[in-house]
Chains A and B, each alone.
Chain A
């Protein structure tokens, strides 16, 4: 078996993930390499979910009965765990949403309805990048269309990195918000946060970071990032679906208007007007995803028991091995950085002129789960003149043997369509 420095004890870790023992297509061992789409869930998270429903289920922040108080404590306890996980200065800066898309839409809508000095209008500009997931493109397009603001973006270099050579023309005095991805879901690129944040701060623009592909895989410290907003989702980091996070700086959350109105987010309501609860509740209208928040809390406990630094090192070792093995496959072209440097563990590639859909199908027949398509980042495919890619993405339970299986699987694909 291939031994690489920095690998985790995957034999032990994999025992926590019941699904990884599944056989598919009758007798094939599952090789799950679609972690950038969603991660699998450890027993500890599954148990937390069922324990919540079996023992504590109640609506939160209302009712004086035992269950309501326990459920509220669990829900708010999950907020504490998230705050600590991302080194937030205050737990009140952690807003629960249903996913990262909702988090990013929430920021766009806060700014769309805000008063000065935050207001985005026809005199102002919004900056994103060409490597964003659609969830960090479309909310800004909508905001630009509705307000008349100008939408600008950073382009990409041929090797899959942000082209910041014209940073001073892209981010200007007119820029109100710069929103960009920390780790690309399609290219795997880890972006240079500091350079972008520094320029944004120079011109007084707010910074929003999409950390969906970062938070599951590396330590994320919102204070070190110096951003104003950070968004991520629970299901990619061993948590359940239906729970996302928006972290925002306290003073901004105090100043900015709510987006969704309803129960939970109010202070007083009359038939004429309402006043709002302080953040984070101001941004959490309606019954929140309580069980899912509890599940996310359990996922954070799980990840921290292993250590985010160790997970990062594990994935880095796997990525180094994977790019080296993929380079051996004839006609294979990596879309994105071809080395493991400043790179996450999602690797996109094309294989000759075999369409990724066909690649994915033949791999699936061998039990290997990859993602094919444009990965909700169609502008990246257009930029590199390709219709789609095949993407393999790793996580803390991935092994070098699974990368070997992928390489063998690709050989089979080439023979099948050769």
Chain B
């Protein structure tokens, strides 16, 4: 059944048992919503220099949006910012592919569990769900880095 291409086992696992859920200390916090369906996420990032120390989140939404946040936490925590950005961009490219990208080994190496979302990209209405936490992370990171830069300017 086609539905299984969207609801991969790994997605349902992350949905039922989310990783890193709950709000913890962070350098910046953002709240993003998907107005078409009411998915919401509050997400915090904590940086140690350019290393991502933590991504914590709380939210409500469909299995796709919630599983995606869990996978994001798995993938990005502990990574250097440049690597994390590469992962985010690769995920974005996959999600915007309208089902035309069949993830290869190289992509799978970058995205790990997140390749399971390839099937979601065939459903335009659900792409936003999958991207919600990733856009929130990008926004929070920009805010955290801005704040960091401001602090540096003040101490300089």
> Which A residues are within 8 Å of any B CB, using their own CB?
25, 355-358, 361-362, 365, 372-374, 378, 381, 387-388, 416-417
A417: contacting residue among B1, B60, B63, B123, CB under 8 A? B63
Are A358 and B63 in contact, with the CB atoms below 8 A?
yes
| Stretch among B36-44, B78-86, B108-116 lining the A interface | B36-44
Are B1 and A387 in contact, with the CB atoms below 8 A?
no
Known: A365-B1, A387-B38. A357 touches B7 (CB 8 A): no
Are B6 and A361 in contact, with the CB atoms below 8 A?
yes
A357: contacting residue among B3, B12, B61, CB under 8 A? B61
CB B95 to nearest CB in A, in angstroms, measures: 16
**Contacting residues, chain B, for A387 (C-beta < 8 A):** 38-40, 60-61
CA distance A311 to B61 in the complex (A): 37
> What 3 pairs between A and B have smallest CB-CB spacing?
A357-B62, A355-B62, A388-B38
Tally the A-B contacts, defined by beta carbons under 8 Å: 47
A sample of 4 more A-B contacts (CB under 8 A), given A355-B66, A365-B1, A374-B37, is A361-B123, A387-B40, A388-B37, A416-B3
Are B38 and A365 in contact, with the CB atoms below 8 A?
no
Q: Taking chain B's interface residues, is the majority helix, strand, or loop, or is none over half, making it mixed? A: mixed
Are A373 and B36 in contact, with the CB atoms below 8 A?
yes
B153 within 8 A of A: no
CA distance A374 to B35 in the complex (A): 8
B2: contacting residue among A365, A378, A417, CB under 8 A? A365
Are A416 and B7 in contact, with the CB atoms below 8 A?
yes
Are B38 and A378 in contact, with the CB atoms below 8 A?
yes
**Contacting residues, chain A, for B2 (C-beta < 8 A):** 25, 365
**Contacting residues, chain B, for A362 (C-beta < 8 A):** 3
For residue A382, which residue of chain B has the nearest CB? Answer: B38
Report the contact-size class of chain B (Cβ under 8 Å from the partner).
20 to 34
CA distance A365 to B1 in the complex (A): 9
Known: A355-B62, A357-B64. A381 touches B38 (CB 8 A): yes
> Which B residues are within 8 Å of any A CB, using their own CB?
1-3, 6-7, 12, 36-40, 60-66, 123, 126, 129
Q: List 11 A-B contacts (CB under 8 A).
A: A25-B2, A356-B37, A357-B64, A357-B65, A357-B129, A358-B64, A365-B1, A372-B37, A387-B39, A387-B61, A417-B12
CA distance A356 to B123 in the complex (A): 16
CA distance A355 to B66 in the complex (A): 10
Interface centre among B37, B39, B63 (most CB of A within 10 A): B37
Are A358 and B3 in contact, with the CB atoms below 8 A?
no
CA distance A174 to B151 in the complex (A): 51
For residue B60, which residue of chain A has the nearest CB? Answer: A387
Are A357 and B37 in contact, with the CB atoms below 8 A?
yes
**Contacting residues, chain B, for A365 (C-beta < 8 A):** 1-3
CB A349 to nearest CB in B, in angstroms, measures: 15
CA distance A417 to B63 in the complex (A): 10
**Contacting residues, chain B, for A374 (C-beta < 8 A):** 37-38
Are A357 and B40 in contact, with the CB atoms below 8 A?
no
**Contacting residues, chain B, for A358 (C-beta < 8 A):** 62-64
Are A361 and B126 in contact, with the CB atoms below 8 A?
yes
For residue A25, which residue of chain B has the nearest CB? Answer: B2
Are B1 and A355 in contact, with the CB atoms below 8 A?
no
Interface centre among B1, B40, B62 (most CB of A within 10 A): B62
CA distance A416 to B4 in the complex (A): 10
A373: contacting residue among B1, B3, B38, CB under 8 A? B38
CA distance A362 to B4 in the complex (A): 10
**Contacting residues, chain A, for B66 (C-beta < 8 A):** 355
CA distance A417 to B11 in the complex (A): 12
CA distance A371 to B49 in the complex (A): 45
CA distance A373 to B1 in the complex (A): 25
Are B39 and A361 in contact, with the CB atoms below 8 A?
no
B37: contacting residue among A373, A416, A417, CB under 8 A? A373
Interface centre among B3, B38, B62 (most CB of A within 10 A): B38
Are B1 and A357 in contact, with the CB atoms below 8 A?
no
CB A229 to nearest CB in B, in angstroms, measures: 28
**Contacting residues, chain B, for A417 (C-beta < 8 A):** 12, 63
